[in-house]
Structure 1
Amino acid sequence: MAKYTETEYEKESNKSVLLRLLAYAKPYWHWMLLAFLLVLCITGLELYRPVLVGDAIDEFIGKGNFNGIKQTAVIYLLVLIGSFVCNFFQTWILQLTGQSIIYNIRQEVFEHVHKLSLRFFDITPVGRIVTRVTNDVEALNEMYANILVKLFKNLIKIVGLAVVMLSIDIRMSLYSFILLPVIIGLTLLFKTISRATYRVVRTKITFINTYLSEHLSGMKLIQIFAREKEKYEEFKEKSRDLYRANFKEMMVFAIFRPSIYILSIISLVIILWVGGNSVLAGTVSIGTLYIFIQYIGSFFEPIQELAEQLGTLQSAMASAEKIFTIMDEKPMIENPRNPVNLPAIKGRIEFEHVWFAYEEENWILKDVSFVIEPGQRAAFVGATGAGKSSILNLIGRYYDIQKGKITVDGVDISELSTEQLRGAIGQVQQDVFIFTGDIKSNIRLKNDEISDEEVHQAAAYVNAADFIEKLSNAYEETVTERGATLSAGQRQLLSFARTLAYDPAILVMDEATANIDTETEQLIQEALEKLMEGRTTIMVAHRLSTIQHADKIIVMHKGKVRESGTHQQLLNVDGIYKKLYELQLQ
């Protein structure tokens, strides 16, 4: 098997990333081709301008031919107008195409993130994902909108300048190229250093975005414990790291640009020295000397831009690597190729010898078996870490089990589409998430199939209409991120209304009344009695008073089912449930 050095691996990786990036431009190849053709026109016109003036100096100025000078001026004006028109259309095409490609990439990344399993979000900071979808995607814009075409333009310009200069005077051209090896060496050095600095900058940006995302979300906790000063110092250090990385990147440019400029001045001095002597000797015309003076400035400019564009390309490649890291992340939960389509889910749930672990064999559930019949009300109780919430997550197939089988209406949930399975399950969590928008949009969650009337009915069912209609704008009332302007009880009532609006066959409640005051809880209990009628209901609660009327209570302990029965049956057994009940009574 062939062995590769680290550099060779990096080249292969860059090649792979570049090919994937170019694939996004494929649908716009005709526009990109037009942009390249315009670049050829622009380059040709730029090369022609010094020749036009140089020829005019030799043929018209020296002979006093004023008509020839006027004719040259008109042609020069037409060349400038042609350059302007070509530049305008090239810029317009590239910006439009670049923004279209970036839009597609951003949409694809966000869509892919939605498909990823909950485990990915358990272990990946939100700030890192946000950076990928925003900063890193935007870093590609410069590549598509400018860099690719400008790289082509500068390469063509360098080659064109060299060819034209050699065709005019080989001796003068060789003197012009005398510092070219030094320039190539500096360019390669700049490319290597800039690539490293770009990667560091992208990494530091990710770190600071991750930090901001986490600490802005937890600002209330920071203020409660008066840790503002300490957190400020932490942020200051991370901000200083980003500053240092940006400073190093700036210093690389600050050294490279003047170096190339100095070399171009030295080359110009050489041409003036050699060309001036040649003009005096009568071997070179003044017009030719003018052309070479103009070309020297034009020759070094694209070399400098080329190096910088290669650096920017490396920045885009670094961002693309991070984007493709997420894009290559495979969803742990995949839909079957030919899913079983149930006419309607009735709600019979069965666990058959289920073993489950989030990581390796650190088992959360151990050989768990139970059956919940359609329309039955089942409750799970037990100490923290017993596996209750994990069971709820497994019913919706947010995670896959390692051993055993979970069925809904007799069908293994791995054979059902996640859309049908999760569409039949209404979940109410302890920690309610409220989106920025209004009351109505938070109940229907952008589902236009749910009418305003159904939204109102759902709110009335859970007694949420009472507080909603007291708001100044009722269902149109604006709510901020995470529902900060609403009380915990109001947010939970909205969550109930949201679940009811989707009319699920299976109702799942994970500590749904934990954060609600007694008065609000009574309102919800009234609504739940109506809601649970005819639906399979699964509850997790620490307060046993809320689940006493369940048809079946399953007691979990250290990942296993220890007891099962009704409230009264379990009290008659001197077991875990009775101890928990007596403890709460005390």
Structure 2
Amino acid sequence: MAKKSGNAFDFGLFKRLVGYTNPYRFTFYFVGLAAVLLSIFAVARPYLLQQAIDTGFVPKNENLILEYVVLMLVVLFLEVIFQFLFIYFANWLGQEVIRDIRVKLFDHMMLFKKQYYDQSAVGRLVTRAVSDIETIASIFSEGLFMIFSDLLKMIVILGFMTYKSWQLTLIVLAILPLILYATRVFQKKMKTAFEEVRTQVSNLNSFVQERITGMKIVQLFTREETEYTNFRSINEKHKKGWVKTVWYNSIFFPIAEMSSSVTIGLIVWFGGLRAAEGDVITLGVVIAFIELSQMLFRPLRQIADKFNTLQMGMVAASRVFAILDTDARVENKGTIQLKNISGAIDFDEVRFSYLEGEEVLKGVSFSVNSGDTVAIVGATGAGKSTIINLLNRFYEIDSGTILIDDKDINTIDLKSLRSHIAVVLQDVFLFADTILNNITLNNPDITEQQVTEAAKEIKIHDFIMSLPDGYHYNVKERGAMLSSGQRQLISFLRAYVTNPEILVLDEATSSIDSHSEQLIQDATDKITEGRTSMVIAHRLATIKNADKIIVMDRGLIVEQGTHTELLEIDNGYYKNLYDVQFSTVTE
């Protein structure tokens, strides 16, 4: 990864990045060859101009002049063709590389533990996966090959100049150290500046995304002015980061331009005098040197500019690789493929903590028989949802064992494990897509007919058909076009069509509207029928009908039993909970 220091370049990071061009070696080498040819063409034009002046214009040989003009046109034509191929394939290579990196990054992030996303700003991750990766493309399209081409041109030009006149070459070289020193300083300053710019871009993206997503809260609590002030502050930091890069540019480029002008003046003064005295330095050589010196200094100025682009790409690459190097994936060492399981679940002395030293589950043990419905109740923070997260291996337990059909879930292939468990969450997430695609999640094995039949079985087909376009109704972002109860019904159907052996309802019936209440209850009865179900619920009917109720408090199971058994415990936790929260609920 790139170090956040003033170091001008990180070759380890660069080598890693170039490694992504291996599948496109032919294109990579072709672009390099095009750069070599362009450097040769760049020297050929001044040489032909010098020959035209010295052997054509001075002796007034019209035929020779015509020949050199034609040759210059041919060289110019070839230069244009290879310039086109160079630019096109350099950009093509860049796009191929970032496509591969973006796919690899997304695939890597898909396997992260839920804990990683709990601790990471979504806006920052979006910046890494979108704009940062796009910036990496410029390393190939505007940075790496352009710099290589320019450096090659400079070497060829210096060699040709030395061959033609070492005296005039020394004049040019006398000014060159100033340009090189300024370029070196410029590179270091720009790297630091661009690191700051990328940081501020991430902060800006995170802030904007969170505020737009939570705009309802901002407006409900009249936080518009406060958030506006905060945004101005973040935006000001972003502006200052960019202004710093403009400041460095405004210093460097005038120095480069002044050095170039001084060089031309010295060449004209010294070379002109020698040409007038009939020295080996001819008029053609002087004119060629004027053009060659410009061609020598222009790449220097462009290299500095391209190095800016390269630095931005390298900074972006270091941030992307930081995520790729993050080891936050759930270890999938399981080899067992579950098939037709009965759905028996056992928790044995399970301990878990989100933060080290702060246990959420403190040695939890319970069993769920195949086909039973178990309700888990308790106050907020008791550890109810944590049990669900651990069953799906969204987090890794600290100690203990979780078994499904007497098999440790760590020995089961992760995809196989989750394919047998369906979860209906309280906070239903729907994609900006059709109802059908939100139910099937684009699984080609689930047909529209299967979805329709399943909807009829849980009695929500009529509700879906009442919407415009029915199953092809677009629910927009996060299901904004549906009520919370309607979204909940969609999530029930999404779980039901997968025909899971184990069903989890995580407070799935706690936030529904009155119109959807009966539909939700009917759907619950249907989808829990004949399968192992774990229900975290507040509704009396669901809890009363459960085969077992597990009562949790502060990470411990304090009571277990049926509804009737628990109510018989004098001053029991569940009885008190029932009296306070449930006794007023009409069944």
Q: Name the structure 1 match of 2:326.
A: 329
TM-score, normalising length from structure 2? 0.96
Q: CA deviation at 1:7?
A: 8.2
Taking the aligned partners of 1:8 and 1:467, their CA distance within structure 2 comes to 57
SS at match of 2:505: strand
Q: CA deviation at 1:145?
A: 1.9
Q: CA deviation at 1:308?
A: 2.2
Taking the aligned partners of 1:221 and 1:527, their CA distance within structure 2 comes to 32
Q: Name the structure 2 match of 1:377.
A: 373
Q: Name the structure 1 match of 2:252.
A: 256
Taking the aligned partners of 1:125 and 1:463, their CA distance within structure 2 comes to 39
CA separation of 1:257 and 1:314: change in aligned 2, threshold 3 A: same
Taking the aligned partners of 1:411 and 1:7, their CA distance within structure 2 comes to 46
Tell me whether 1:24 sits opposite 2:20 in the alignment.
Answer: yes
Q: Name the structure 2 match of 1:132.
A: 128
Is contact 1:458–1:498 with CA below 8 Å preserved after alignment?
no
What is the RMSD of the two structures over their aligned residues, measured on CA atoms?
1.6
Equivalent of 1:559 in 527, 550, 555: 555
Tell me whether 1:579 sits opposite 2:576 in the alignment.
Answer: yes
Is contact 2:338–2:417 with CA below 8 Å preserved after alignment?
no
What are the residue-to-residue correspondences of 1:195-206 with 2, within 5 Å? 195-206=191-202
SS at match of 2:183: helix
Letter aligned with residue 310 of structure 1: F
Residue deviations 1:400-432, cap 9 Å, x none?
111110000000000001111111111000000
Tell me whether 1:222 sits opposite 2:218 in the alignment.
Answer: yes
Taking the aligned partners of 1:412 and 1:317, their CA distance within structure 2 comes to 44
Taking the aligned partners of 2:518 and 2:3, their CA distance within structure 1 comes to 68
CA separation of 1:7 and 1:149: change in aligned 2, threshold 3 A: closer
What are the residue-to-residue correspondences of 1:318-397 with 2, within 5 Å? 318-336=315-333, 339-397=335-393
Letter aligned with residue 17 of structure 1: L
Q: Which moved more, 1:88-97 or 1:497-506?
A: 88-97
Letter aligned with residue 313 of structure 1: L
Q: CA deviation at 1:25?
A: 0.9
SS at match of 1:91: helix
Letter aligned with residue 482 of structure 1: R
Residue deviations 1:257-281, cap 9 Å, x none?
1210111001111111111111222
SS at match of 1:405: strand
Q: Which moved more, 1:306-315 or 1:544-553?
A: 306-315
Q: Name the structure 2 match of 1:293.
A: 290
Taking the aligned partners of 2:304 and 2:77, their CA distance within structure 1 comes to 29
Taking the aligned partners of 1:7 and 1:529, their CA distance within structure 2 comes to 58
SS at match of 1:226: coil
Is contact 2:351–2:359 with CA below 8 Å preserved after alignment?
yes
Residue deviations 1:201-221, cap 9 Å, x none?
000000000111111110111
Q: Name the structure 1 match of 2:229.
A: 233
Number of equivalences: 580
Q: Name the structure 2 match of 1:3.
A: none
Q: CA deviation at 1:225?
A: 1.2
Unaligned runs of 5+ in 1: 1-5
Q: CA deviation at 1:456?
A: 1.0
Q: CA deviation at 1:38?
A: 1.2
Q: Name the structure 2 match of 1:316.
A: 313
Q: CA deviation at 1:543?
A: 3.6
Is contact 2:4–2:192 with CA below 8 Å preserved after alignment?
no
SS at match of 1:379: strand
Taking the aligned partners of 1:7 and 1:19, their CA distance within structure 2 comes to 15
Is contact 2:548–2:562 with CA below 8 Å preserved after alignment?
yes
Residue deviations 1:479-502, cap 9 Å, x none?
110111111110100111111111
What are the residue-to-residue correspondences of 1:412-561 with 2, within 5 Å? 412-561=408-557
TM-score, normalising length from structure 1? 0.97
Give the share of equivalent positions with the same residue, in percent: 36
CA separation of 1:412 and 1:11: change in aligned 2, threshold 3 A: farther
CA separation of 1:389 and 1:236: change in aligned 2, threshold 3 A: same
CA separation of 1:351 and 1:327: change in aligned 2, threshold 3 A: same
Equivalent of 1:165 in 161, 166, 172: 161
Q: CA deviation at 1:11?
A: 5.9
Is contact 1:406–1:413 with CA below 8 Å preserved after alignment?
yes
What are the residue-to-residue correspondences of 1:392-407 with 2, within 5 Å? 392-407=388-403
Q: CA deviation at 1:80?
A: 0.7
Q: CA deviation at 1:10?
A: 7.7
Taking the aligned partners of 2:152 and 2:418, their CA distance within structure 1 comes to 57
